[in-house]
Amino acid sequence: MGFPGSVPLILLLSACCVLAAAQLPLVINTWPYHDAVQRAWDTLQSGGSALDAVEKGCSQCEVDQCRGTVGYGGNPDEHGETTLDAMIMNGNTIEVGGVGQIRRIKSAISVARAVMEHSSHSLLVGESASIFAQNMGFLSEDLTTNKSLSMHAEWLSKKCQPNFWKNVFPDAATSCGPYQPVKGIRSKKRGMPAELINVHSHDTIGMIVIDESGSIAAGTSTNGLTHKIPGRVGDSPIAGAGAYADSTVGAAAATGVGDIMMRFLPSYQAVEYMRMGTEPATACQKAITRIQMYYPQFFGALICANRTGGYGAACSKSPGLDQFHFMVYNPLTALEQVVNCI
Ligand SMILES: *[C@@H]1O[C@H](CO)[C@@H](O)[C@H](O)[C@H]1NC(C)=O
Ligand SMILES: *[C@@H]1O[C@H](CO)[C@@H](O)[C@H](O)[C@H]1NC(C)=O
């Protein structure tokens, strides 16, 4: 075209600016779910929003049944049924959609998004959430698989061990229900069953996406806890517990023993630490430390990202968890990363 000098100049400029804004967009998620982070990244690359990327990334895990902890056919409850918890949060508007203990619907995070976009509510639960989903056009189908059937059969054959009951008769440590409450023995504390505090029963996907314009979204999806008492809803669909996003600050997402973690709203807590100027890795650590003051060996981890694309993670050292793996995808890196637990 007669301006031979201009081509290198343009290349130089673009190299400069890609590097300067190197950390956005950003996708991070809990656990080494490679296909999920890739799907979220691809969604951004094809023009999707941060919300679209979180939805598609977590949906990928629902389809893949990531480690049996996300999606259909895993972690059956006491009745043998798999139910799902999920949420999504828009950090620009502070809108949230969540579903708790939703039945017969595979795409929990998409239903959560429908709650956010087609209702003024933030959380729908149980059978009514399933009816909402069907009305929104989602397919109703059995979430049972041979694997979930055999997990349930094995649990029944072991006298319903482990389970989550305490202060009941007959003794839940040796018998199946139905149970009745026993009064006045509160001091005989029964903790979380040891068999369930292991690395493969709490591997909820939590994801944070920041797009190039700085819009932040976060979300989670899980099938909850193996052999949970029907009706149990964990931390994942609860804003501030499972995830939190505020585009003026950053976002966080949690994974682990939801029944304990939800008491501390760790995702909200980490975002608030970042609001006060704390770096992401430290914000994650401080939120974990807050829980450890009461539950020194709880099983759990957090991922944190600030609005400029800084990120970090932290985990609580506990039986089965010395290190925590998470995924990071930004213009400079597309890697599984690992952090030592505290
Ligand atoms: C489940 O088990 C049944 C009976 O053993 C078998 O016929 C069926 O093919 C299995 N289904 C899947 C999806 O593996
Ligand atoms: C975000 O985190 C990075 C990495 O810790 C840090 O360098 C950066 O200053 C933080 N940005 C803001 C706005 O706090």
Q: Is 306 in the pocket of ligand 2 (CB under 6 A)?
A: yes
Q: Under 8 Å CB-to-CB from 167, ≥6 apart: which residues? A: 181, 182, 183, 185, 186, 188, 190
CB-CB contact of 176 with 104 (8 Å): no
Summarize the confidence of residues 258-271 as an average pLDDT: 97
The tens digit of pLDDT for each residue in 1-34 reads: 333 333 333 333 333 333 333 489 999 999 999 9
How far does CA 180 lie from the centroid of its chain?
A: 33
Q: Respond yes or no: is residue 204 known to be catalytic.
A: yes
Q: 114-132 burial by CB neighbour count: b if 16+ within 10 A, else e? A: bbbeeeeebbbbbeebbeb
Q: Are residues 68 and 80 in contact, defined by beta-carbon separation less than 8 angstroms? A: no
Query: 47, exposed or middle or buried, with CB in 10 Å at 0-12, 13-18, 19+?
Result: exposed
- Closest ligand to C-alpha of residue 146 is 1
Residue 283 CA to ligand 2 center (angstroms) comes to 11
- Segment (H or E) for 269: helix 266-275
Q: Which domains does the chain have, with CATH numbers?
A: 10-143+196-340 (3.60.20.30)
Q: What residue's CA is closest to ligand 2, atom 4? A: 310
Is the dihedral angle over the CA atoms 194, 199, 204, 207 positive or is it negative?
A: positive
Please give the pLDDT value at position 15.
38
Element (H, E) at 289: helix 280-292
Q: Report the separation in Å between the CA atom of 292 and the middle of ligand 2, taken as the mean of its atom positions.
A: 25
Which residue among 43, 82, 83, 204 is the active-site one?
204
Instruction: Detail the residues annotated as belonging to a binding site for substrate.
Output: 232-235, 255-258
pLDDT band at 200 (very low <50, low <70, confident <90, very high): low
- Mean confidence (pLDDT) of the chain: 90
Minimum CA distance residue for ligand 2 atom 2:
310
Question: Is pLDDT larger for residue 11 or for residue 240?
Answer: 240
**Average pLDDT, stretch 194-207?**
69
**Using an 8 Å Cβ cutoff, are 143 and 72 in contact?**
yes
Judge whether residue 254 has pLDDT over 80.
Answer: yes
State how far the Cα of 233 lies from the Cα of 10, in Å rounded to an integer.
54
Instruction: Tell me the backbone φ, ψ of residue 252, rounded to 5 degrees.
Output: -145, 155
Does residue 280 have its Cβ closer than 6 Å to ligand 2?
yes
Residue type at 43?
T
- Please give the Cα distance from 208 to 312 (Å, whole number): 11
Q: To the nearest 10°, the Cα dihedral for 57, 59, 62, 66?
A: -10
Span 105-151, pLDDT tens digits: 999 999 999 999 999 999 999 999 999 999 999 999 999 999 999 99
Please confirm whether the linkage preceding 230 is cis (ω < 30° from 0).
Answer: no
- Asked if pLDDT for residue 314 goes beyond 90, the answer is yes
- Alpha-carbon distances of 179 from 79, 96, 167, 208, rounded to whole Å: 14, 36, 9, 41
Is 80 exceeded by the pLDDT of residue 191? no
Residue 189 has pLDDT above 70, yes or no: no
Contact 330, 309 (CB under 8 A): yes
Q: What ranges make up the beta strands (E) of the chain?
A: 26-30, 84-90, 95-102, 123-125, 168-169, 180-181, 205-210, 216-222, 243-246, 250-256, 300-306, 311-316, 323-330, 333-340
As beta bridge partners, residue 246 has 250
Q: Measuring from atom 8 of ligand 2, which residue has the nearest CA?
A: 310
| Angstrom distance (rounded) from CA 333 to CA 331 | 6
The Å distance, Cα 80 to ligand 1 centre, comes to: 17
- pLDDT higher than 80, residue 253: yes
Burial of 139 (0-12, 13-18, 19+ CB in 10 A): exposed
